C-alpha cells in the first residue's frame, strides 16, 4: 500500500467534506507517520477502518476525521476510480 503524496486541497471531491478542513489536512499529512499493520495494507476498506479506529498513545482517536471521510467517499455508489486511486494504491 502506498499513500499518495497529494495535497488534500487537490482532491476533486474535497468539496463534499463539511467538517474542519484544517483538522482533516493535519490528519492527512500524518498518515505516513504510522506503521500500519500488514494485514490491512492490501484492502482499502480494512485500511481506512484501521485509520478511522487508530488511537494514539494518549488513547485519543487520532485519525477519526480523515478515516471517516475516506470511508464515506469509498461508500458512494459509484465507487469512483478517482476516489479509489487517491485513497488506496497497491
Encode pLDDT of 12-56 as tens digits. Answer: 778 888 889 999 999 998 988 999 999 998 888 899 999 999 999
pLDDT band at 1 (very low <50, low <70, confident <90, very high): very low
* Cβ contacts of 82 within 8 Å, gap of 6 or more: 12, 13
- For residue 51 the three cell numbers come to 485509520
Distance CA 89, CA 8 (A): 16
Distance CA 78, CA 60 (A): 33
- Nearest alpha-carbon partner for 51 in 39, 60, 59, 61: 61
Amino acid at each position: 500500500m502506498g499513500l499518495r503524496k497529494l495535497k488534500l486541497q487537490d482532491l476533486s471531491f474535497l468539496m463534499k467534506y463539511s467538517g474542519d478542513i484544517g483538522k482533516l489536512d493535519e490528519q492527512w499529512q500524518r498518515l505516513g507517520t504510522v506503521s500500519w499493520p500488514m494485514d490491512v495494507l492490501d484492502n482499502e476498506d480494512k485500511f481506512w477502518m484501521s485509520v478511522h479506529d487508530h488511537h494514539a498513545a494518549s488513547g485519543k482517536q487520532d485519525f477519526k476525521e480523515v478515516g471517516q471521510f475516506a470511508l464515506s467517499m469509498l461508500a458512494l455508489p459509484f465507487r469512483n476510480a478517482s476516489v479509489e486511486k487517491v485513497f488506496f494504491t497497491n
